[in-house]
């Protein structure tokens, strides 16, 4: 993990952001990410992101829950310790449907949420670099991976697209353990400043 | 980019001249300033009520369940009534977030956060009743199926009471996840605005390091939709299973097939009433009238009159089938003990009918739906009515059973039962006061999402689209 | 600029199909009548029972499309407007099928005295039967007929009023005030329809028409179950007609976004139907009271066993597995398949609600059932086609229409 060079531009309007994303991609710059205060519909497609397959994961967790419930209950009430309950057959399927349903939902919901947190790397005490502090408030922050190219050129390009407050940042892209109430020196910075 | 547009004749969801930043300011303010004196008064009253409940439970645990006035046939009294009542109230949150999300009701964005929080607290309150009713509460873990040291003795999976354990705990977990994943972006906002060290620390931890990355939002949206899809049948299943506690038996007045959907409708009914009570106070205390508008209140009142009428049809259906079945036991339960003003519990049945079926009908009138005082009054009436409903179902069906020699005397609660119930109010409001102080009571990110289509100032700007010819409009924007 | 091809013209092929199906239907009914209509009471009952469940089923699913329109109107929905006229057109079948249904009831109750269909019309049996005698304040021919007229009549009148209101949106652009007033008037009529719908389909009507087939048996859930069954079929019916028109090049503004939402309705209400099915079945199974389990005896253990479980597979397992995926709901072919499957499934559901009560020991499903169904389908194609051609397919100046055009599922 190392610090990388980025160019950050802020947008105030969705209607400016969308054409800008298109132009930036067309110009061949690599968008690291766009940080938005709310879910902007269609932005993921505009940026060329792949559809998430978190639904499929949810389906798989769900049928795991179904199988667990039916498997456990039928083993317990038919094999392990059969009891005559209300004169019903040992394999009393209608009476098991409620618990089966609940476990299906439980497995699916818990599994999906954990998958979500894992994929997005979200957890208590996780700290990430914030490019633009107001991007959780009212700013759409576009972050371009500058790589080895000239930042000034990108800055000019972004400004032409209507971005404000365009600047360059060196930042860590991953996450580390920490809290937000103190500044932290991450690692010993071994990279050489290029700019 | 996809056109965002909403018909002009729709009422704005956000009033006033707002931009994104103003929304953040308005909703975060209560968290960032010192609570008002009113807040402290309310909070300490809640704590006092809670302490009364703690005392009642302490006494009950030390001396046993005999402290309650349960008797030979009324083995379930106030405890189960209150359990069902609280669980019912806990249905509105998920309904607002999940079902209304699927039905595309835009107004849910203003009220879902508080409603979901309320759901979670109501379920916590509900859970107290079966737990403490066990008597030896330290053995409560026996209800969990696990291979134990007493040999292969398992819980009874065919028992509706065990289904309840699974249903309530699943419901609690899923509601919590749904609520909390929705909170993450808003907590991150507060973290990024934070000036004090405590806030930076607290919201830094609770926001899980959320940044607002597009990929994260994409997954977040997908997760919310699927959780909503899961929560919809889940919310139906919970009260359905609660109704199974009664309906699987062969007790007249309990065993009837309409119970599951009818309980669900009743639950939504009482849940919405509780949401109204809380939101009407909240919008006043925190100055959120621009976000919880009269339009929101009207929409919720429509749900109340709808569900109240569904419940009314169910009551009449039960009553009718008691006649139609020509079953003498059913007839006794319905026509002698319930719909009879002179029977011992007749007052409760007619109280229920008045509060739940008759009085909500005033919400057919738009003037009434948009009147805050009427709404507040009705929201309390409805919850009283729904308490009566549960009490009627539980007490009237069991205080006179098949065997007249075991007929019990009139059941009325002891001070410990009352104290326990009052204590759960304390618990509920304590939680709600803390929530309203430390968490954003309105889903900020969701409001921002609809702001440009449904905010008052933005709606005024797009009037031109309204005048455009349909053909031109479609040519430009249809996909 | 997009040109609106909004005026439907009935294709020749459609006319041929309608006439062919009606012909098949009439021939089946005539042959059926010759074979069974004058036979033993048992044979007659099966014949009339078959016609009865078909007419009730087809009338109720057409009525459910008007319920759909009214429910969405009351919920202040705007997304459905690009195809609302389709749902409206289907609902013109209510008075037509209503007359047929009513005629069938008239014959069963007054003409044929078919006691093995409605046991409670047999005066001698009622006099000897304490339970039926007790019910006779409710279960009597007069009240049955009055309630049937009221049900069908008010559905027809209120439905016609909704359709008439809709035409106003063709005339001229509406300004803010006019638009608001128009929507308000729509909600009032829709509200009346919903209230009457709740009092009929949500309670009394299915008790009369269907539940009283087993005159001793009772279930409080029964009416809501009937509602769920017809409503999911109604959604499927709308989807089917929308897809047909779309294939013919009409309904330019309707696209897979709207289809997706119709698919969601079909999916959600298939599950809702299953939920009610399960609640009714499980509670009766669990309590095991003979008065109640008698209903399921011929269905679960008798000759109808196969149909009973087939019903569950086709109406629950298939929709939940196939319609769960987003891509299925946006695919015209898959949606056509699912809509047909759901319509067929709930037709079978009505079959198993009615026929086991009439013919307990012999399975009656055969050519006659399909023949009668063909008659109703033919009539529906004929009249709905005419209704569609009568006015533009899109209410051009409806205040919410633009929302519907840009709708995203």
* C302 pLDDT more than 90: no
Answer whether B448 sits within 8 Å of A47, measured CB to CB. Answer: no
State residue A36's pLDDT score: 93
Within 8 A of B230 by CB-CB distance, chain A residues are 58, 105, 108-109
Q: Does A101 touch chain C (CB under 8 A)?
A: no
Q: What is the mean pLDDT of chain A?
A: 87
What is d(CA A163, CA A157) in angstroms, rounded to the nearest whole number?
9
State residue B153's pLDDT score: 79
What is d(CA C303, CA B377) in angstroms, rounded to the nearest whole number?
57
State residue C102's pLDDT score: 94
Provide the β-strand partners of residue A170.
Answer: A5
State residue B406's pLDDT score: 78
* A151 pLDDT more than 60: yes
Q: Could you write out the DSSP letters of every residue in B421-455?
A: HHHHHHHHHHHHHHHHHHS-SS-HHHHHHHHHHHB
* Minimal Cβ distance to B173: which of A33, A110, A136: A110
Q: Does B250 touch chain C (CB under 8 A)?
A: yes
Q: Could you write out the DSSP letters of every residue in C242-305?
A: HHHHHHTT--TT--HHHHHHHHHHHHHHHHHHHHHHHHHHHHHHHH--HHHHTTTIIIIISTTH
CATH number at residue A164: 3.30.70.120
Mutate to test the interface with A, among B14, B29, B170 (most CBs of A within 10 A): B170
Task: Flag whether A107 is in a domain.
Answer: yes
**A121: alpha, beta or left, given left = phi > 0 and alpha = psi -120 to 50?**
left
Answer whether A41 sits within 8 Å of C408, measured CB to CB. Answer: yes
Among residues A63, A95, A119, the one where a domain terminates is: A119
Percent of residues, chain C, with pLDDT higher than 90:
67
State residue A57's pLDDT score: 94
> How large is the average pLDDT for residues C306-316?
93
> How large is the average pLDDT for residues B429-450?
92
> How large is the average pLDDT for residues B77-95?
89
Percent of residues, chain A, with pLDDT higher than 90:
43
SS3 C59: helix
Q: Which residues contact C35 (CB under 8 A, 6 or more apart)?
A: C43
Distance from CA of C94 to the nearest CA of B (A): 24
State residue A195's pLDDT score: 46
SS3 B143: helix
Within 8 A of B102 by CB-CB distance, chain C residues are 264, 268
What is d(CA B141, CA B143) in angstroms, rounded to the nearest whole number?
5
- Cβ atoms of B368 and B312 closer than 8 Å: no
* B1 pLDDT more than 70: no
Q: What is the mean pLDDT of chain C?
A: 91
Q: Which residues contact C143 (CB under 8 A, 6 or more apart)?
A: none
Provide the β-strand partners of residue A142.
Answer: A9, A34
- Determine what percent of chain C falls in helix, strand and coil, rounding each to the nearest 5: 75, 0, 25
Q: Which of residues B201 and B100 earns the better pLDDT score?
A: B201
- Cβ atoms of C220 and B319 closer than 8 Å: no
Chain centroid to CA C396: 28
- pLDDT tens per residue, range C155-189: 999 999 999 999 888 888 888 888 899 999 999 99
State the helix-helix crossing angle for B160-193 and B214-247, rounded to 10 degrees: 150
Closest CA to B264 of B95, B104, B103, B76: B95
Closest CA to C165 of C409, C404, C395: C395
State residue B454's pLDDT score: 83
Provide the β-strand partners of residue A141.
Answer: A10, A35
pLDDT range class, residue B117, cuts 50, 70, 90: very high
- C-facing residues of B in 376-435 (CB < 8 A) are none
* C275 pLDDT more than 90: yes
State residue B248's pLDDT score: 93
* Minimal Cβ distance to A58: which of B153, B213, B226: B226
State the helix-helix crossing angle for C367-390 and C12-32, rounded to 10 degrees: 150
State residue B479's pLDDT score: 66
Mutate to test the interface with B, among A47, A120, A123, A141 (most CBs of B within 10 A): A120
Within 8 A of C253 by CB-CB distance, chain B residues are 474, 478
Q: Which residues contact C199 (CB under 8 A, 6 or more apart)?
A: B313
SS3 A5: strand
Task: Flag whether A195 is in a domain.
Answer: no
SS3 C145: helix
Q: In degrees, to the nearest 5, what angle opens at C-alpha B210 toward C-alphas B208 and B212?
A: 165
- pLDDT tens per residue, range C98-114: 999 999 999 998 887 77
Q: Which of residues A14 and C345 earns the better pLDDT score?
A: C345
Percent of residues, chain B, with pLDDT higher than 90:
57
* C346 pLDDT more than 60: yes
* A145 pLDDT more than 70: yes
Residues A114 and A62 both lie in one domain:
yes
Answer whether A86 sits within 8 Å of C286, measured CB to CB. Answer: yes
Residue B98 is given by DSSP the state I
State residue B445's pLDDT score: 92
- pLDDT tens per residue, range B362-380: 999 999 999 999 999 999 9
Closest CA to B321 of C329, A115, C219: C219
SS3 A127: strand
Within 8 A of C282 by CB-CB distance, chain A residues are 94-95, 97
State residue C266's pLDDT score: 93
Q: Which residues contact C343 (CB under 8 A, 6 or more apart)?
A: C61, C233, C236, C237, C240
Closest CA to C2 of C354, C364, C405, C305: C405
What is d(CA C279, CA B452) in angstroms, rounded to the nearest whole number?
44
Q: What's the Cα-to-Cα distance from B246 to each of A190, B80, B332, rounded to whole Å?
A: 69, 11, 18
State residue B4's pLDDT score: 73
pLDDT range class, residue B93, cuts 50, 70, 90: confident
Question: CB-based burial of residue C33 (10 Å sphere; 0-12 exposed, 13-18 middle, 19+ buried)?
Answer: middle
Q: How many CB pairs under 8 A join A and B?
A: 205
State residue B402's pLDDT score: 82
Within 8 A of B222 by CB-CB distance, chain A residues are 52, 54-55
Percent of residues, chain B, with pLDDT higher than 70:
99
Q: Which residues contact B333 (CB under 8 A, 6 or more apart)?
A: B252, B253, B322, B396, B397
* C409 pLDDT more than 50: yes
Which helix (H) or strand (E) segment holds residue A175: the answer is: strand A175-177
Question: Chains with 3 or more CB pairs closer than 8 angstroms to A?
Answer: B, C
B62 CB neighbour count, 10 Å cutoff = 8
* A190 pLDDT more than 80: no
What is d(CA B408, CA C40) in angstroms, rounded to the nearest whole number?
56
State residue C381's pLDDT score: 95
What the block records as the tokens of B326 is: 């020509």
Q: Does C77 touch chain B (CB under 8 A)?
A: yes
Within 8 A of B209 by CB-CB distance, chain A residues are 121-123, 126-128, 175
Q: What's the Cα-to-Cα distance from B391 to each of B347, B395, C23, rounded to whole Å?
A: 11, 6, 60
Within 8 A of C285 by CB-CB distance, chain A residues are 94
Mutate to test the interface with A, among C285, C296, C328, C407 (most CBs of A within 10 A): C285
- C-facing residues of A in 2-61 (CB < 8 A) are 41, 55, 59
What is d(CA C385, CA C390) in angstroms, rounded to the nearest whole number?
9
Within 8 A of B258 by CB-CB distance, chain C residues are 220-221, 224
* Minimal Cβ distance to A36: which of B158, B198, B212: B212
Residue A32 is given by DSSP the state E
* B256 pLDDT more than 80: yes
**C249: alpha, beta or left, given left = phi > 0 and alpha = psi -120 to 50?**
left
- pLDDT tens per residue, range A57-105: 999 999 999 999 999 999 999 988 888 888 899 999 999 999 999 999 9
What is d(CA C395, CA B101) in angstroms, rounded to the nearest whole number?
27
What the block records as the tokens of C40 is: 């033993």
Distance from CA of C332 to the nearest CA of B (A): 17
What the block records as the tokens of C26 is: 């009439």
Alpha helices in C200-255 (DSSP H): 205-209, 222-247
Task: Flag whether A34 is in a domain.
Answer: yes
* B319 pLDDT more than 90: yes
- pLDDT tens per residue, range B50-74: 999 999 999 999 998 888 988 878 8
Relative to beta strand A126-128, strand A30-35 is unpaired
Q: Which residues contact A108 (CB under 8 A, 6 or more apart)?
A: A58, A59, A61, A62, A65, B226, B230
* A48 pLDDT more than 70: yes
Residues A128 and A179 both lie in one domain:
yes
Q: Which of residues C74 and B467 earns the better pLDDT score?
A: C74
B93 CB neighbour count, 10 Å cutoff = 30
- Cβ atoms of C83 and C258 closer than 8 Å: yes
SS3 C1: coil
The reported pTM is 0.94
Q: Does A57 touch chain B (CB under 8 A)?
A: no
Report the range of poorest mean pLDDT among B3-7, B65-69, C17-21: B3-7
Which residue on chain C is closest to B101 by alpha carbon?
Answer: C409
Answer whether A94 sits within 8 Å of C278, measured CB to CB. Answer: yes
B475 CB neighbour count, 10 Å cutoff = 13
Task: Flag whether A135 is in a domain.
Answer: yes
Q: Does A91 touch chain C (CB under 8 A)?
A: no
Among residues A71, A95, A119, the one where a domain terminates is: A119
Task: Flag whether A139 is in a domain.
Answer: yes
Calculated CA dihedral for residues B289, B292, B294, B300, nearest 10 degrees = -160
Residues A46 and A127 both lie in one domain:
yes
Percent of residues, chain C, with pLDDT higher than 70:
99
SS3 B91: coil
Q: How many domains does chain A have?
A: 2
Q: Does C75 touch chain B (CB under 8 A)?
A: yes
* B392 pLDDT more than 80: yes
* B12 pLDDT more than 90: no
SS3 C111: helix
- pLDDT tens per residue, range B263-289: 999 999 999 999 999 999 988 888 888
Q: Does A105 touch chain C (CB under 8 A)?
A: no
Which domain covers residue A152, as residue numbers? 4-50+123-190
Q: What is the mean pLDDT of chain B?
A: 89
Among residues A89, A119, A149, the one where a domain terminates is: A119
Residues A128 and A185 both lie in one domain:
yes
* Minimal Cβ distance to A77: which of B157, B193, B214: B157
Residues A84 and A113 both lie in one domain:
yes
* C59 pLDDT more than 90: yes
* Minimal Cβ distance to A124: which of B157, B159, B208: B208
Report the range of poorest mean pLDDT among A2-6, B31-35, C354-358: A2-6
Answer whether C285 sits within 8 Å of A94, measured CB to CB. Answer: yes
Which helix (H) or strand (E) segment holds residue C328: the answer is: helix C326-329
* A41 pLDDT more than 80: yes
Residues A66 and A97 both lie in one domain:
yes
Chain centroid to CA B268: 7
Residue linked to tokens 């830094």: B204
* A185 pLDDT more than 80: no
Instruction: For A99, list phi and psi in degrees, rounded to 5.
Output: -65, -40
């Amino acid at each position: 993990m190392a610090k990388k060079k980025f160019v950050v531009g802020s947008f105030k309007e969705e209607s400016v952001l969308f054409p800008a994303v298109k132009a930036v991609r067309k110009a061949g710059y690599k968008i690291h990410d766009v940080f938005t205060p709310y879910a902007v519909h269609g932005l993921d497609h505009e940026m060329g992101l792949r559809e998430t397959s978190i639904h499929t994961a949810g389906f798989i967790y769900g049928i795991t829950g179904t199988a667990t419930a039916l498997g456990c209950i039928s083993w317990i009430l038919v094999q392990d310790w059969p009891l005559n309950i209300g004169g019903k057959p040992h394999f009393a399927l209608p009476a098991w449907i409620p618990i089966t349903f609940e476990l299906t939902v439980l497995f699916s919901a818990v599994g999906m949420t954990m998958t979500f947190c894992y994929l997005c790397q979200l957890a208590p005490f996780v700290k990430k670099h914030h490019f633009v502090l107001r991007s959780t408030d009212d700013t759409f922050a576009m972050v371009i991976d500058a790589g080895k190219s000239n930042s000034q050129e990108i800055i000019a390009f972004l400004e032409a697209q209507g971005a404000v407050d365009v600047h360059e940042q060196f930042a860590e892209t991953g996450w580390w353990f920490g809290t937000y109430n103190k500044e932290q020196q991450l690692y010993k910075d071994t990279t050489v400043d290029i700019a | 980019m996809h056109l965002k547009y909403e018909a002009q004749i729709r009422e704005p969801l956000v009033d006033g001249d707002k931009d994104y930043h103003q929304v953040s300011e308005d909703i975060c303010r209560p968290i960032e300033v010192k609570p008002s004196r009113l807040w402290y008064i309310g909070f300490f009253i809640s704590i006092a009520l809670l302490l009364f409940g703690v005392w009642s439970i302490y006494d009950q645990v030390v001396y046993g369940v005999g402290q309650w006035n349960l008797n030979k046939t009324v083995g379930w009294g106030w405890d189960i009534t209150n359990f069902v009542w609280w669980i019912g109230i806990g249905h509105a949150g998920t309904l607002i977030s999940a079902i209304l999300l699927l039905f595309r009701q835009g107004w849910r964005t203003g009220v879902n956060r508080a409603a979901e929080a309320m759901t979670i607290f109501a379920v916590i309150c509900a859970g107290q009743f079966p737990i403490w009713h066990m008597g030896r509460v330290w053995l409560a873990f026996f209800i969990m199926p696990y291979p134990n040291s007493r040999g292969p003795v398992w819980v009874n999976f065919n028992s509706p009471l065990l289904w309840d354990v699974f249903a309530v705990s699943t419901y609690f977990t899923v509601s919590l996840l749904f609520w909390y994943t929705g909170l993450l972006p808003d907590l991150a906002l507060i973290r990024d605005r934070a000036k004090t060290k405590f806030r930076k620390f607290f919201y830094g931890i609770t926001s899980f390091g959320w940044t607002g990355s597009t990929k994260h939002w994409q997954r977040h949206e997908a997760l919310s939709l699927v959780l909503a899809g899961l929560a919809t049948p889940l919310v139906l299943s919970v009260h359905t299973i609660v109704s199974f506690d009664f309906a699987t038996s062969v007790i007249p007045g309990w065993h009837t097939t309409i119970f599951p959907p009818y309980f669900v409708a009743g639950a939504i009914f009482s849940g919405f009433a509780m949401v109204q009570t809380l939101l009407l106070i909240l919008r006043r205390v925190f100055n959120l009238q621009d976000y919880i508008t009269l339009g929101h209140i009207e929409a919720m009142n429509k749900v109340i009159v709808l569900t109240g009428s569904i419940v009314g049809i169910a009551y009449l259906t039960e009553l009718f089938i008691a006649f139609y079945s020509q079953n003498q036991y059913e007839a006794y339960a319905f026509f002698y003990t319930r719909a009879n003003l002179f029977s011992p519990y007749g007052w409760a049945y007619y109280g229920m009918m008045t509060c739940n079926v008759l009085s909500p009908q005033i919400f057919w009138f738009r003037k009434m739906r948009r009147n805050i005082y009427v709404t507040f009054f009705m929201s309390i009436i409805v919850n009283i009515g729904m308490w009566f409903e549960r009490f009627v179902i539980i007490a009237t069906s069991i205080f006179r059973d098949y065997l007249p020699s075991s007929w019990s005397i009139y059941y009325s609660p002891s001070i410990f039962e009352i104290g326990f119930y009052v204590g759960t109010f304390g618990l509920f409001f304590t939680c709600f006061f803390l929530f309203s102080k430390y968490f954003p009571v309105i889903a900020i990110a969701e409001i921002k999402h609809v702001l440009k289509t449904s905010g008052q100032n933005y709606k005024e700007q797009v009037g031109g689209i309204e005048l455009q010819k349909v053909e031109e409009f479609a040519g430009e924007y249809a996909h | 600029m997009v040109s609106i091809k909004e005026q439907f013209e009935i294709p020749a092929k459609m006319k041929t199909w309608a006439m062919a199906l009606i012909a098949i239907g009439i021939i089946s009914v005539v042959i059926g009548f010759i074979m069974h209509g004058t036979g033993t009471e048992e044979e007659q009952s099966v014949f009339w029972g078959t016609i009865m469940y078909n007419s009730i089923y087809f009338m109720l699913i057409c009525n459910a499309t008007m319920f759909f329109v009214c429910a969405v109107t009351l919920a202040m929905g705007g997304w459905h407007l690009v195809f609302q006229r389709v749902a409206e057109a289907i609902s013109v079948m209510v008075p037509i099928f209503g007359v047929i249904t009513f005629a069938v009831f008239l014959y069963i109750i007054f003409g044929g005295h078919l006691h093995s269909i409605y046991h409670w019309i047999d005066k001698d049996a009622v006099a000897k039967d304490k339970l039926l005698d007790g019910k006779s304040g409710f279960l009597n021919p007069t009240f049955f007929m009055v309630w049937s007229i009221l049900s069908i009549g008010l559905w027809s009148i209120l439905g016609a009023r909704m359709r008439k209101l809709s035409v106003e949106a063709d005339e001229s652009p509406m300004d803010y005030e006019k638009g608001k007033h128009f929507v308000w008037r729509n909600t009032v009529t829709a509200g009346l329809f919903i209230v009457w719908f709740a009092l009929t389909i949500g309670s009394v009507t299915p008790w009369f028409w269907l539940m009283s087939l087993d005159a001793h048996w009772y279930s409080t859930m029964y009416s809501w179950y009937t509602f769920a069954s017809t409503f999911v079929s109604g959604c499927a019916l709308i989807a089917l007609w929308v897809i047909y028109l779309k294939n013919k090049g009409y309904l330019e503004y309707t696209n897979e976004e709207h289809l997706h939402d119709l698919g969601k309705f079909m999916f959600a209400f298939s599950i809702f139907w299953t939920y009610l099915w399960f609640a009714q079945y499980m509670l009766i199974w669990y309590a095991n009271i003979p008065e109640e389990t008698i209903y399921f005896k011929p269905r679960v253990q008798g000759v109808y066993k196969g149909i009973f479980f087939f019903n569950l597979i086709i109406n629950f397992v298939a929709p939940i597995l196939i319609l769960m995926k987003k891509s299925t709901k946006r695919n015209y072919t898959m949606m056509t398949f699912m809509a047909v499957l759901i319509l067929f499934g709930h037709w079978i559901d009505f079959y198993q609600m009615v026929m086991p009560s009439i013919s307990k020991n012999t399975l009656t499903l055969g050519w006659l059932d399909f023949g009668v169904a063909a008659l109703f389908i033919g009539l529906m194609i004929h009249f709905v086609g005419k209704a569609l051609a009568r006015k533009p397919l899109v209410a051009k100046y409806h205040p919410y229409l633009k929302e519907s055009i840009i709708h995203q599922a």
